[in-house]
């Protein structure tokens, strides 16, 4: 295991990784079309192509919600966030190895592996988000002995004095495994370069979300999701270049004012809802101005320190600056305050909770967060989804009724209170 330096070292100076230039002629439609084709491929063909162009380099799957992709990049590898089958694959083998009362993403991720669709991967990292993820890591280890399968124990007590040291030690352990598999060591410069690229990428994602908040007519939540999903199979620099070009073009896009209510979509931080569900929300009159979809793309809220001790900086960022979520444990932040703050930041008229069926962390927090919203007078609607659900009419009716009731409220709803509202 490689132990990296720490303490008061001089900062490693690196330039941001700008990635290959996107054609200056690339149109927004062209970018979205390409992203759509990349995002819709459960067989990871783009990853196979990347492997062909980078012989010997690792492609490492990252189960949601967050694992430090920088560690994979520091050994010259490609991090590949996994999102399950997204309703596009039949479950033919996974059900024989797993009970039916678990969330869809765990079952479909296993099916992806058993059907050979993850063949481009050299390993998979499972972060400690819930029992289902932990059990899936064990099933993967048993069923795919040639894969590097690692369960990452993220620190769960942010208030502890040793939390940063613990997190740093766990990241160091994981990096050692990746180095051994890659056959190369990651230098501090490698890590610092990956951290700078990660900071830059998250900044672009945040700009996309800010644009949606401020000018939602420019890009739908569906298009934003597709733009971000393409990053699952592209090197970070290339995806950053794509986002940068899209962000240049979006303000010039013609828009028409739309009579919709502003909603915060919450609860789909891990398993992703079917695209039809996102479309249904929009068709039923919602402008989704904030969400926790693909949360790992912006899990860290502030730039990670790039100098000194890179592993310590990543551990500190996880503990101090990560987004409140049902799978982030042991913090002193109130989740009730966090959702009220998100409502206020997005100037949302209401909250739509879309929670994956059988997702224990999401369903636990739903009760708590809904109670806080009720007390603050923020309207909300809740339903569950599955990857392979096929009928959306019931949800459409619920959302349309929700939208109509909010339109009746007009501007008379009280502004959410924040102070003193701890659940």
Q: Which residue's CB is nearer to ligand SF4, number 110 or number 182?
A: 110
Q: Which residue's CB is nearer to ligand SF4, number 187 or number 323?
A: 323
Q: Which residue's CB is nearer to ligand SF4, number 208 or number 270?
A: 270
| Least distance CB 106 / ligand SF4 (angstroms) | 5
| Least distance CB 228 / ligand SF4 (angstroms) | 18
How many other β-carbons are positioned within 10 Å of the β-carbon of residue 340? 24
| Least distance CB 95 / ligand SF4 (angstroms) | 16
Q: Can you spell out the DSSP letters for 257-320?
A: ----EEEEEES-SSSPPPHHHHHHHHHTTEEEEEE-TTGGGG-B-SPPP-SS-HHHHHHHHHHH
Q: Which residue's CB is nearer to ligand SF4, number 75 or number 124?
A: 124
Residue whose C-alpha is closest to residue 168's, from 327, 314, 69: 314
| Least distance CB 62 / ligand SF4 (angstroms) | 13
Provide the H-helix boundaries in 60-161. 69-74, 104-114, 131-143
Per the CB < 8 A criterion, the answer to whether 35 and 229 are in contact is: yes
| Least distance CB 104 / ligand SF4 (angstroms) | 8
Q: Which residue's CB is nearer to ligand SF4, number 124 or number 204?
A: 124
| Least distance CB 388 / ligand SF4 (angstroms) | 14
Q: Which residue's CB is nearer to ligand SF4, number 90 or number 131?
A: 131
| Least distance CB 258 / ligand SF4 (angstroms) | 31
Q: Which residue's CB is nearer to ligand SF4, number 285 or number 361?
A: 361
Cis peptide leading into residue 65 (ω within 30°): yes
Distance CA 353, CA 370 (A): 9
Tallying the residues shown for the chain, one arrives at 423
Q: Can you spell out the DSSP letters for 343-384?
A: HHHHT-SEEEEEEETT-HHHHHHHHHHHHHHHHHT--EEEEE
| Least distance CB 121 / ligand SF4 (angstroms) | 18
Provide the H-helix boundaries in 3-44. 28-39
Residue whose C-alpha is closest to residue 223's, from 18, 23, 39: 39
Distance CA 124, CA 142 (A): 13
Task: Give the pair of three-digit tokens for residue 246.
Answer: 């899209």
Q: Which residue's CB is nearer to ligand SF4, number 19 or number 113?
A: 113
| Least distance CB 105 / ligand SF4 (angstroms) | 5
Interface residues with ligand SF4 (CB under 6 A)? 64, 103, 105-106, 129-130, 132-133, 270-271, 327, 356, 359-362
Report CA-CA distances (Å) from 397 to 115, 148, 228, 384: 37, 46, 29, 14
Per the CB < 8 A criterion, the answer to whether 60 and 72 are in contact is: yes
Per the CB < 8 A criterion, the answer to whether 91 and 353 are in contact is: no
* Cα angle for residues 365, 366, 367 (degrees, 5° grid): 90
Q: Which residue's CB is nearer to ligand SF4, number 26 or number 363?
A: 363
């Amino acid at each position: 295991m490689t132990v990296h330096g720490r303490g008061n070292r001089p900062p490693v100076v690196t330039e941001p990784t700008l990635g290959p230039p996107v054609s200056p002629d690339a149109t927004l439609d062209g970018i979205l079309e390409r992203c759509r084709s990349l995002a819709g491929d459960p067989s990871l063909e783009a990853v196979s192509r990347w492997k062909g162009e980078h012989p010997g380099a690792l492609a490492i799957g990252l189960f949601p919600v967050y694992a430090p992709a920088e560690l994979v990049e520091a050994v010259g590898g490609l991090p590949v966030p996994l999102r399950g089958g997204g309703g596009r694959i039949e479950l033919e083998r996974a059900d024989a190895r797993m009970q039916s009362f678990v969330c869809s993403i765990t079952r479909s991720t296993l099916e992806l592996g058993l059907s050979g669709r993850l063949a481009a991967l050299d390993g998979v990292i499972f972060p400690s988000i819930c029992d289902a993820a932990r059990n899936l890591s064990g099933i993967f280890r048993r069923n795919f002995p040639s894969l590097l399968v690692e369960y990452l124990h993220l620190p769960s007590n942010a208030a502890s004095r040793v939390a940063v040291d613990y997190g740093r030690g766990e990241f160091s352990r994981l990096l050692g495994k990746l180095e051994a598999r890659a056959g190369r060591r990651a230098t501090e410069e490698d890590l610092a370069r990956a951290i700078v690229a990660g900071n830059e990428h998250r900044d672009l994602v945040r700009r996309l979300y800010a644009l949606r908040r401020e000018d939602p007519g420019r890009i739908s939540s569906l298009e934003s999701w597709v733009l971000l999903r393409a990053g699952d199979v592209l090197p970070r620099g290339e995806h950053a270049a794509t986002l940068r070009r899209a962000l240049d073009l979006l303000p010039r896009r013609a828009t028409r004012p739309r009579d919709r209510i502003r909603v915060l979509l919450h609860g789909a931080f891990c398993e992703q809802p079917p695209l039809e569900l996102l479309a249904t929300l929009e068709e039923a009159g919602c402008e989704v101005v904030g969400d926790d979809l693909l949360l790992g793309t912006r899990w860290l809220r502030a730039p990670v320190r790039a100098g000194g001790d890179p592993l310590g900086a990543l551990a500190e960022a996880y503990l101090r600056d990560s987004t409140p979520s049902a799978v982030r444990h042991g913090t002193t932040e109130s989740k009730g305050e966090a959702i009220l703050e998100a409502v206020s930041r997005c100037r949302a008229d209401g909250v739509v909770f879309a929670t994956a069926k059988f997702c224990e962390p999401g369903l636990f927090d739903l009760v708590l967060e809904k109670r806080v919203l009720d007390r603050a007078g923020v309207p909300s609607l809740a339903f569950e989804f599955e990857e392979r659900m096929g009928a959306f009419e019931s949800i459409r009716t619920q959302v349309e009724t929700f939208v109509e009731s909010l339109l009746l409220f007009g501007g008379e709803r009280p502004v959410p209170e924040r102070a003193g509202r701890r659940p």
